[in-house]
Each structure stands twice: as C-alpha cells, then as structure tokens.
C-alpha cells in the first residue's frame, strides 16, 4: 500500500512518460494549431485560404481600408465597453446582495440569476428579439432612449448575459472573505459605504476584474444573440465577419481575426501585469 502511494507520486518512467508527453503535445496542438494556421495565412498573398503563394500584408491593408469592418469594430468596442461597465456594477451588486444579505425571494433570484449561463444562446437570442419587439415602444417613451437604434439593444442584451458571469466570479471571491472583516470596519466607525469602499472592494477586486475580463471576452465573442438583436447601422464585428463568411472564406477574415486576437491577448497580458503589480505592492 505504502509502496503504491510512493509510486504514484514519483515521476512516471519509461513508456508511461513518453505516452504522457505525447498526450500533452497533442492537447496543445489541438488548442493552438488552428490559431497558428490562422495567423500564418493572414500573411498570405493569395486570395485563396489554404494555398500559400507568398508573404504579403495586402489583407491587413484591405482591413484598414474597409470602412464597414472599421465601423463594425468600433460598434463592438462601444458595446463591449458599455456592457462590461454596466454588468460589472450590477453583477457585483447582485453578488453582494446574495452573499451578504437575507431577503424574501432570494433563493428564486439566485436561481434566475444563473439562467443565462445555462440556457442556449439561441434561446437567449430569440427571447431578446421577442422582448425588444414587444417593448421597444415602451422604452422609447423615456426621453433620450431610442431602442430602434441597435446599439442600445445590443448593450442591454449583452448586459443581460454578462451579469450572470460577473456575479458568479465575484461571489466566489466574496464567499472566501471573512464577514468579520466588514463587522470590524463597522466597529471601527466606518459607515456601510466606507466599509465597502475601504475594506470589501479592495479584497474582491481580483474577482471584479476577472468578471470584467470575462464580460469583455463574452461580449466581443458573441455572434448568436448579437445577430438576432443588431439592426442596420449597428453591426458588431463578430456578426459582420460571420456575414462575410457567407460570401466565401477570404483571408481578410484571417487578418481581422488576428487583429482581434492580438487585442484580446494584450488585454489579458495587461491584466496579468496589473495584478502582479498590485499584489507585489501588497507585499
């Protein structure tokens, strides 16, 4: 028995070792090979994807010169920024209300809050379409709000699914936070707001940032909900690219994808650097 335990913790040897290495290599290849291929062919001179005819930046040039792509990228950035900010605030509040307070109907709220994570995108998309179809006029009564403009609808629908993800992440962080910490702040003359601002928020910040990053990714990624909700003049880049596919796969899509890939990687790197900087300052 003791021998078995010792063996299981030791480094695998012989054939097992090579088998495991091969397995890891395959897993990584599975993850990254398509990306490498995508990046590679974005520099292809040919207009045919998959046939290399020489290095060229012509697709990046086409990308820069294509006003439709430029404007749809800009739409995506706006939707992403607005829906992230709104869903981070609301999602954090939802997490706080569930973790720190007891109120009537809480269990039901808790269950409903997670629905957007479980239900299929298509269902969500149809729900949004029907919802906006029925209520757009009602919203328009509010001065300054115009839901016939697709941008607001897109922001609202992205907020609708992002809240769930943000609150899950923030909640996990809150659950690990000693409640006595907030009591101590109150005991030391802090008002509720001061206790939140000075004690709770700094400690759930990694969760809030993680939630925000998730919201950014989900918002940029979304095709299904967005394509149901978007109107003319407000097409996010994901929907636009999907539309281009119908006219055939062009290396332009590769170039667009590489730009988005680079942007999101920069974002992730930045957040990692930021977190390392703040945690080293703590020490």
Residues engaged in binding other proteins (CB under 8 A): 178, 180-181, 183-191, 194, 198-199, 202-203, 282-283
Of 246 and 283, CB closest to other proteins: 283
Of 204 and 216, CB closest to other proteins: 204
- Work out how close the CB of 107 gets to other proteins at its nearest, in angstroms, rounded to a whole number: 16
Instruction: Give me the phi and psi of 149, to 5 degrees please.
Output: -75, 120
CA 258 from chain centre, in angstroms, equals 17
- Work out how close the CB of 18 gets to other proteins at its nearest, in angstroms, rounded to a whole number: 42
Of 107 and 247, CB closest to other proteins: 107
Of 183 and 221, CB closest to other proteins: 183
Of 53 and 278, CB closest to other proteins: 278
CA end-to-end span of the chain, whole Å? 43
- Work out how close the CB of 205 gets to other proteins at its nearest, in angstroms, rounded to a whole number: 9
- Work out how close the CB of 187 gets to other proteins at its nearest, in angstroms, rounded to a whole number: 5
- Work out how close the CB of 181 gets to other proteins at its nearest, in angstroms, rounded to a whole number: 5
CB burial class (10 A; 0-12, 13-18, 19+) of residue 138? exposed
CB burial class (10 A; 0-12, 13-18, 19+) of residue 75? buried
- Work out how close the CB of 131 gets to other proteins at its nearest, in angstroms, rounded to a whole number: 40
Of 30 and 101, CB closest to other proteins: 101
CB burial class (10 A; 0-12, 13-18, 19+) of residue 258? buried
- Work out how close the CB of 194 gets to other proteins at its nearest, in angstroms, rounded to a whole number: 6
Of 181 and 249, CB closest to other proteins: 181
Of 80 and 204, CB closest to other proteins: 204
- Work out how close the CB of 183 gets to other proteins at its nearest, in angstroms, rounded to a whole number: 5
């Amino acid at each position: 028995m003791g021998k078995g335990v010792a063996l299981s913790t030791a480094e695998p040897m012989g054939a097992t070792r090579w088998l495991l290495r091969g397995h890891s290599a395959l897993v990584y290849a599975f993850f990254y090979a398509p990306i490498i291929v995508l990046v590679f062919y974005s520099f292809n001179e040919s207009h045919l994807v998959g046939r290399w005819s020489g290095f060229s930046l012509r697709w990046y040039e086409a990308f820069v010169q294509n006003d439709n792509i430029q404007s749809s990228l800009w739409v995506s950035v706006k939707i992403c920024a607005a829906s992230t900010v709104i869903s981070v605030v609301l999602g954090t509040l939802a997490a706080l209300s569930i973790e720190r307070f007891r109120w009537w109907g809480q269990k039901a709220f808790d269950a409903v809050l997670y629905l957007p994570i479980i239900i299929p995108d298509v269902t969500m998309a149809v729900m949004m379409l029907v919802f906006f179809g029925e209520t757009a006029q009602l919203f328009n009564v509010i001065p300054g709000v115009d839901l016939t403009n697709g941008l607001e609808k897109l922001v609202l629908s992205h907020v609708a699914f992002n809240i769930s993800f943000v609150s899950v992440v923030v909640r996990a962080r809150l659950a690990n936070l000693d409640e006595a910490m907030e009591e101590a702040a109150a005991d030391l003359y802090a008002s509720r707001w001061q206790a939140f601002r000075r004690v709770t928020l700094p400690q759930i910040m990694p969760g809030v940032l993680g939630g925000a990053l998730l919201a950014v990714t989900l918002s940029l990624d979304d095709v299904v909900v967005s394509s149901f909700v978007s109107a003319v003049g407000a097409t996010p880049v994901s929907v636009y690219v999907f539309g281009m596919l119908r006219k055939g796969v062009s290396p332009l899509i590769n170039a667009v994808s590489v730009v988005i890939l680079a942007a999101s990687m920069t974002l992730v790197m930045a957040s990692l650097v930021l977190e390392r900087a703040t945690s080293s300052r703590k020490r």
